[in-house]
């Protein structure tokens, strides 16, 4: 039994490493040539996997794009863990997070555009919308601690039917719209931040 469990563990680690290599390869291609450069065959060749193997991990190109964007969101979450928002209000903390995410995504606008399309048009099965809202909910409801005290963490799992969570989700929807306007060239970063601040204040006033 122990030998079987060890074999399963090694296979799982190998699969995780292969998946990570595929995503990193796709991200590198996107950084050099945009989403158009993320051709499935090119990704498979550069990652050293068979094309059929690539499709087992990512059934479509949009699934692969979402995985690459998820890596960017991982970086945002790491940044927040290391340097939590310090604004006194829930609205201020939420806007801080959204602007960090915006700046990160805009380093590669084509990936940002793919994220917007995946969220609006459901081109790929993705939990990114829920993950973004959960992240906002955590920072909005985790008030900074007084000096010498530890902050009180929110519950691990939010009640997604709760009015406060729904208001946070509404702010996430505003962000997606503003990100789309930014990609179209109808906003700049300062305008996006200003509009998010206006939207966040009433929505998160009671968080």
In order along the chain (207 residues), what is the average pLDDT of each group of 10 residues?
51 85 89 80 95 94 84 84 89 94 84 74 65 89 60 65 92 93 94 97 90
Per domain, the residue ranges of the chain are 1-58, 60-203
Note whether 44 and 53 are within 8 A (CB).
yes
Note whether 48 and 21 are within 8 A (CB).
yes
pLDDT value of residue 79: 86
pLDDT value of residue 95: 96
Query: What dotted CATH number matches 60-203?
Result: 1.10.357.10
First-to-last C-alpha distance (Å) of the chain: 50
CB-neighbour burial class of residue 50 (10 A; exposed 0-12, middle 13-18, buried 19+): exposed
- Of 85, 70, 78, whose CA–CA distance to 151 is shortest? 85
pLDDT value of residue 153: 56
Element (H, E) at 163: helix 163-184
CB-neighbour burial class of residue 142 (10 A; exposed 0-12, middle 13-18, buried 19+): middle
Sign of CA dihedral 120, 61, 80, 143: positive
pLDDT value of residue 113: 80
pTM over 0.85: no
pLDDT value of residue 125: 52
Q: Report, at the CATH architecture level, how domain 1-58 is classified.
A: Orthogonal Bundle (1.10)
**What's the CA gap between 197 and 191, in Å, rounded?**
10
Q: Between vectors from CA 113 to CA 184 and to CA 55, what angle results, nearest 5°? A: 160
Would you state the structure tokens that stand for residue 22, as one six-digit string? 């595929």
């Amino acid at each position: 039994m122990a030998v079987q469990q060890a074999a399963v563990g090694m296979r799982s680690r190998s699969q995780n490493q292969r998946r990570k290599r595929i995503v990193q390869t796709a991200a590198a291609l996107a950084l050099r040539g945009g989403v158009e450069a993320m051709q499935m065959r090119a990704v498979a060749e550069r990652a050293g996997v068979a094309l059929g193997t690539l499709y087992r991990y990512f059934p479509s190109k949009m699934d692969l794009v979402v995985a690459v964007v998820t890596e960017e969101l991982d970086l945002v979450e790491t940044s927040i863990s290391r340097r939590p928002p310090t604004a006194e209000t829930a609205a201020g903390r939420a806007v801080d997070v959204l602007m960090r995410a915006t700046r990160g995504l805009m380093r590669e606008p084509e990936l940002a555009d793919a994220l917007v399309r995946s969220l609006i048009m459901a081109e790929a099965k993705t939990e990114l919308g829920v993950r973004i809202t959960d992240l906002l909910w955590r920072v909005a409801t985790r008030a900074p601690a007084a000096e010498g005290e530890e902050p009180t963490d929110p519950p691990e799992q939010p009640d997604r039917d709760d009015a406060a969570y729904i208001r946070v989700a509404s702010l996430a929807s505003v962000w997606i719209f503003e990100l789309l306007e930014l990609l179209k060239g109808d906003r700049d970063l300062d305008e996006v931040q200003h509009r998010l601040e206006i939207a966040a204040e009433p929505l998160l006033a009671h968080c």
